[in-house]
Amino acid sequence: MKSSFNFNSFIKNMFLKVNWESVLQHVASVVFQLILLTVVLLLINWIGKKIIRHIFKTSLRNSKTTFSPKKLDTVYTLVLNIFKYILMFFWIYAILSAIGIPVGTLIAGAGIFSLAIGLGAQGFVSDMVNGFFILLEQQISVGDTIKVNAVEGQVTYVGIRTTQIQSVDGTLNYIPNRNITIVSNMSRNNMQALMEIPISSDAPFDRITKLIEDTNQELDLNELKITKKPSIIGFSNQPDGTLVIQIAAYTKPGAQYNVKNVLLKKYLLAIQNDGIDLPK
């Protein structure tokens, strides 16, 4: 009982010896510094983003610029990303310093801790290095349609850590840059639209060929974004033995799917209107 009384007295004396006014003043000072720091960094963030946006809009309006709009969009998102990480670093560093943690001493002295952080950051560094070379070699740009591994879609964002690809169904895929090894970019060169029309072995080939050529003459190449006029490239046998006639056209990137659907419909309609039966 006596021991308990002494312990309680000790706690009471320690509590009374604390200068609570000084403690509260220190806490209030730290809180004020953190609030002021956060407001200042938010202001810098707002001003910085407006300046960056203005610079890139000016570059886009400048007809003498050597950058394409897609390339400017890519660099713009990358610069914003780097700017955000720099501000975040200073914010965390300032918070730790404000509450009295010697960040510089910890980084310099904690060898094992630094090594652990270094090992954990290998993936992050790999993402940045791979992302840098992807941009340097202009492998992809915002707005490009690409395929990475099993993911195919339009690039919506290229950052220092991840690349975002939106699939046709709307799914937004986040891919770490270190996982991007083989990139299939379908937005750099003219794309091929290949149409295959099934025909029977006793079909009137000359009539079908003329119908296809007549249909090609009526096409609005500019409206369909066709860069090379459709032409018959020959005949082919499908794995099931079906004979098909193949027509190929070259289009601007992304237009090949619409061209394939439009032309195939026109060809089939012309052949059916001429009374030629096609295999079911």
pLDDT averaged over the chain?
A: 78
Q: Which CATH architecture has domain 123-185?
A: Roll (2.30)
pLDDT at 182 over 80: yes
pLDDT at 6 over 90: no
Average of per-residue pLDDT across 201-205: 82
> Among 12-21, 254-263, 266-275, which stretch is predicted with the lowest mean pLDDT?
12-21
Average of per-residue pLDDT across 52-63: 71
**Using 50, 70 and 90 to split pLDDT, how confident is the model at 165?**
very high
**Using 50, 70 and 90 to split pLDDT, how confident is the model at 1?**
very low
- In the chain, where are the structural domains located? 2-109, 123-185, 191-273
Average of per-residue pLDDT across 184-199: 85
233-268 pLDDT, tens digit per residue, is 888 887 777 788 899 999 888 788 888 999 999 999
pLDDT value of residue 2:
46
Average of per-residue pLDDT across 21-49: 81
pLDDT value of residue 263:
92
- How far lies 62's CA from each of 72, 74, 162, 232, 256, in Å? 12, 17, 30, 43, 31
What CATH class does 191-273 carry?
Answer: alpha beta
pLDDT value of residue 4:
47
Average of per-residue pLDDT across 3-8: 54
Average of per-residue pLDDT across 86-108: 73
User: Does pTM top 0.75 for this prediction?
Assistant: no
